[in-house]
């Protein structure tokens, strides 16, 4: 199995699903098309592509890193820690923020998929009905 064909199928899988997938989920999907592929080949290919900037790798609070294809518009997420809902945020705000940080700290950002955690509107309402010790 040539590495490049595994890369190609991984990218197709990510493109087709248009979602964040863990390495395990990617592997399972690839197995449907390439039953002979082994897990470490897929994992290594993902790492290589993340380093090359073809896929993003993020912690979205799922217990495992998730991968997503980088193509077209950059985007970022707000993730609800309670229900797991993800909201997309545009790159405009984030890139302004990054430019500011880069200028102030003489730092070059590599992060291309920012994930921020919190509570969504629905879960905030749910929390409000529970008794809270701290005053808000």
The footprint of Zn ion (CB under 5 A) covers: 68, 80, 82-83, 85, 120, 123
Tell me the pairing of strands 115-118 and 75-80.
Answer: parallel
Could you tell me the smallest distance in angstroms from the CB atom of residue 19 to Zn ion? 8
Task: Measure the CA–CA gap between 14 and 87, rounded to whole angstroms.
Answer: 19
Could you tell me the smallest distance in angstroms from the CB atom of residue 92 to Zn ion? 16
Residue whose CB is less far from Zn ion, 22 or 82: 82
Could you tell me the smallest distance in angstroms from the CB atom of residue 37 to Zn ion? 25
Residue whose CB is less far from Zn ion, 19 or 102: 19
Residue whose CB is less far from Zn ion, 29 or 113: 113
Nearest Cα to 29, choosing from 87, 19, 58, 86? 19
CB 68 within 8 A of CB 16: no
């Amino acid at each position: 199995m040539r590495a490049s064909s595994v890369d190609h199928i991984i990218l197709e899988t990510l493109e087709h699903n248009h979602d964040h997938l863990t390495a395990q989920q990617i592997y399972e999907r690839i197995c449907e098309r390439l039953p002979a592929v082994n897990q470490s080949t897929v994992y290594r290919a993902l790492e290589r592509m993340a380093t090359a900037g073809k896929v993003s790798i993020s912690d979205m609070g799922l217990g495992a890193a998730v991968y997503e294809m980088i193509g077209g518009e950059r985007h970022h997420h707000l993730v609800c820690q309670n229900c797991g809902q993800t909201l997309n945020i545009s790159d405009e705000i984030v890139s302004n923020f990054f430019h500011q940080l880069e200028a102030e700290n003489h730092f070059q950002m590599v992060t291309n998929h920012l994930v921020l955690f919190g509570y969504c509107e629905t879960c905030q309402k749910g929390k409000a009905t529970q008794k809270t010790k701290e005053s808000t």
